[in-house]
């Protein structure tokens, strides 16, 4: 892996921590990495390979000696600092939703549209987690057999709401065992032993921002503006892998065997689909790793169209966020730096 003067912004969050861990696995040189967060975390130390890195306070002067920024900042803080980083000449790989639909900003999943990186003007956006996980399975099929529409129901882990989201699930579960009434803080309702059909905020038609992300980001990444998406996003009491039940409508007929061949050869995807031997993906089996797992692949007749249904799972913090960002970094350094 080529290297550069790299910074992680928002290193204390769930995605920032995952970025640190993945860079360590990839043996990124510690003298080429600086880590930033808000003033209250400055001075905190994190082990990195054979050494320790010290968190620096993020300020407008943080970018003077940085070439590439991996940002895991929330939208509000990202909005303040990313323009400064770009102004200072950095390339920013951004995990917020701020720039994803900006026409000047490529939105990239490296297995799917790495060539879009070439059009960057200082920012490359990392897609939303549920978009990445769905498209890793959908894009290879769409490349061979164009899809017209997709109907998606998600089962999303609490890690999507960060460290505090994960803590809220375990705290509520513990409270219930102690006969204490759980108090929702991060999620709008109790999440322990419950489901919440709301992720993000609602528009006037009753869609959540999370549901619209899947539609709009999929259209941009696949370069398929006519793609029709019906999506229902649901938070479930699972720690860190998202799952999605997906039905695709194709323009032409195809069979389950063709789907399996295509997905078996798709980079970053693992087909686990032997139900008679109880083999199918679950969120627990697919956590703490980078592959997107696909199973329960079935062909279903609907009207005169061919529909293919499947179930996929992938770690929301890894391929859904940190891993994809670092793959963008690798792709950029290899082909464009």
Q: Which residues bind a second copy (CB under 8 A)?
A: 148-149, 151, 153, 155, 169, 173-174, 177, 188-190, 193-198, 202, 205-208, 228, 230, 232, 234, 236-239, 243, 245, 247, 249, 256, 273, 275-276, 278, 280-285, 295-303, 307, 309, 311
Could you give the maximum distance between any two Cα atoms of the chain, in Å? 63
Residue 251 CB, nearest approach to a second copy (Å): 11
Residue 206 CB, nearest approach to a second copy (Å): 5
User: Smaller CB distance to a second copy: residue 125 or 141?
Assistant: 141
Q: For residue 2, what are the contacts with CB-CB under 8 A and spacing of at least 6?
A: 330, 333, 334, 337
120 is in an annotated binding site: no
> Any idea of the CA torsion for 145, 138, 199, 189, to the nearest 10 degrees?
110
Strand order from edge to edge, sheet including 68-71: 45-48, 51-57, 33-37, 6-9, 68-71, 91-94, 123-125
DSSP 193: T
Determine the Cα–Cα distance for residues 114 and 107; give it in Å rounded to an integer.
9
156 is in an annotated binding site: yes
85 is in an annotated binding site: no
248 in Cβ contact with 171 (< 8 Å) = no
User: Smaller CB distance to a second copy: residue 50 or 205?
Assistant: 205
Determine the Cα–Cα distance for residues 47 and 291; give it in Å rounded to an integer.
26
User: Smaller CB distance to a second copy: residue 105 or 227?
Assistant: 227
160 is in an annotated binding site: yes
Q: Catalytic: which of 233, 242, 312, 313?
A: 242
Q: Catalytic: which of 129, 233, 312, 313?
A: 129
User: Smaller CB distance to a second copy: residue 46 or 249?
Assistant: 249
CA 178, 180, 184 angle in degrees (round to 5)?
125
The yes-or-no answer on residue 129 being catalytic is yes
Look at the alpha carbons of 65, 67, 68, 74 in this order and tell me if their dihedral is positive or negative. Answer: positive
Residue 98 CB, nearest approach to a second copy (Å): 23
User: Smaller CB distance to a second copy: residue 21 or 173?
Assistant: 173
185 is in an annotated binding site: no
159 is in an annotated binding site: yes
Determine the Cα–Cα distance for residues 63 and 40; give it in Å rounded to an integer.
19
97 is in an annotated binding site: no
CA-based nearest residue to 9, from 44, 58, 51, 52: 58
User: Smaller CB distance to a second copy: residue 36 or 293?
Assistant: 293
Phi-psi region of 267 (alpha: psi -120 to 50; beta: other; left: phi over 0): beta
Determine the Cα–Cα distance for residues 261 and 145; give it in Å rounded to an integer.
13
The yes-or-no answer on residue 174 being catalytic is no
| Annotated binding-site residue numbers | 12-15, 40-41, 100, 156, 159-160, 235, 316
| Annotated binding-site residue numbers for NADP(+) | 12-15, 40-41, 159-160, 316
| Annotated binding-site residue numbers for substrate | 156, 235
| Annotated binding-site residue numbers for phosphate | 100
Catalytic residue IDs? 129, 242
């Amino acid at each position: 892996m080529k290297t550069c003067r790299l910074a992680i912004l928002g290193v204390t969050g769930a995605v920032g921590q995952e970025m640190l861990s993945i860079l360590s696995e990839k043996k990124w040189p510690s003298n080429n990495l600086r880590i930033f967060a808000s003033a209250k975390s400055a001075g905190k130390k994190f082990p990195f390979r054979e050494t320790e890195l010290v968190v620096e306070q993020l300020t407008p002067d943080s970018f003077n000696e940085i070439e590439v920024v991996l940002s895991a900042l929330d939208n509000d803080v990202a909005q303040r600092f990313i323009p400064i980083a770009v102004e200072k000449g950095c390339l920013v790989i951004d995990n917020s939703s701020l720039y994803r639909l900006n026409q000047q900003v490529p939105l990239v999943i490296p297995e799917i549209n790495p060539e879009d990186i070439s059009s960057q003007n200082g920012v490359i956006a990392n897609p939303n987690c549920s978009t990445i996980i769905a498209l890793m399975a959908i894009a290879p099929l769409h490349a061979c057999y164009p899809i017209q529409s997709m109907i998606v129901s998600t089962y999303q882990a609490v890690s999507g709401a960060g460290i505090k989201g994960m803590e809220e699930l375990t705290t509520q579960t513990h409270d219930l065992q102690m006969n204490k009434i759980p108090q929702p803080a991060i999620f709008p309702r109790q999440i322990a032993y419950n489901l919440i059909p709301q992720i993000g905020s609602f528009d006037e038609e009753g869609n959540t921002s999370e549901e619209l992300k899947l539609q709009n980001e999929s259209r941009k990444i696949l370069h398929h503006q006519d793609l029709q998406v019906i999506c229902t996003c649901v938070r479930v009491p699972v720690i860190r892998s998202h799952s999605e039940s997906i039905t695709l409508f194709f323009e032409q007929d195809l069979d389950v065997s063709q789907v399996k061949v295509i997905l078996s050869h798709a980079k970053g995807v693992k087909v686990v689909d032997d139900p008679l031997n109880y083999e199918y993906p679950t969120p627990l089996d697919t956590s703490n790793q980078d592959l997107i797992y696909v199973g329960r692949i079935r062909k279903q007749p609907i009207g005169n169209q061919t529909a293919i249904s499947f179930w996929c799972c992938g770690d929301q913090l890894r391929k859904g966020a940190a891993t994809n960002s670092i793959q963008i970094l690798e792709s950029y350094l290899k082909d464009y730096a």
